[in-house]
Amino acid sequence: MSVVHRSRGGKDPAAGTLRSEVAIVCGLARTLLGPQHPVRWEMLAGDYDLVREHIAAVVPGCTDYNARVREPDGFVLPHAPRDMRTFTTASKRAVLSVNVAEPLVCPPGRLLLQTMRSHDQYNTTIYGLDDRYRGISGGRRVVLVNPADLDELGIADGARVDLVSEWPDDPGGVVERRAGDFRVVAYPTARGCAASYFPETNTLVPLALVAEGSNTPVSKSLVVRLDPPESDRN
């Protein structure tokens, strides 16, 4: 929606050694680019106002970023198609494209998993363990599955399972990736589909599973099976 505002977590860090995402990125930049790089990464890691000053210098619509973001409702970035009905294309008109849908067909006993965010989450920052959008409370290691699919799989609502993704590997093999100990929640997802939160399920995404063109991880099209927890099988 192009609305920029500040946010702040309500929970204490799980450990004093945890670093913010900004600190991690700045640390990587310092290591990879070396101490002679002109950007003072260590200063950016500890001063978000300085980060916003740099953004204001290069991103259109972010002038006076630090002052405007402190307004109660933040501020709205400019958006030419929305605000003025103009488009930066050769024809000055919107250009639409059509893509052919190529749905994945899951083998028997498998589900198509999408990863998603909860209500109390912004990107990978988690502010709470409840999701009022979907009526989930008290934890995030859950997988939402259609009740009819649970009946077919012989899995009870509330059971504990491991999520195992399956990805073809040449020549003719299958690579499996496991995320352990999720609570099954009967939920009106589409038949044959399931849903769970990220980053808890990031481990299920193979590095080679990316979208054509953008090269982004295809985290909403994971073929998975639901196994009994590994602890129950040992």
Q: What percent of the chain has pLDDT over 90?
A: 63
**Token digits for 160?**
């504990």
Distance (Å, whole) CA 22 – CA 18: 12
Q: Taking a C-beta distance cutoff of 8 angstroms, is the pair 161, 229 a contact?
A: yes
Q: What would the pLDDT profile of 98-111 be if each residue is shown by its tens digit?
A: 988 888 888 999 99
CATH 2.40.40.20 fits 111-233, yes or no: yes
Question: In whole angstroms, what separates CA 77 from the centre of its chain?
Answer: 23
Q: pLDDT averaged over the chain? A: 91
Would you call 26 exposed, middle or buried from its count of C-beta atoms within 10 A (0-12, 13-18, 19+)?
buried
Report yes or no on whether pTM surpasses 0.95: no
Assign 179 to helix, strand or coil: strand
Question: What's the pLDDT at 189?
Answer: 95
Q: Helix (H, G, I), strand (E, B), or coil: what is residue 23?
A: helix
The span from the CA of 190 to the CA of 224, in Å, is 15
pLDDT at position 126 is: 86
How is the chain split into domains, by residue range? 3-83, 111-233
- Give 149-169 as a DSSP string: HHHHHT--TT-EEEEEEEEEE
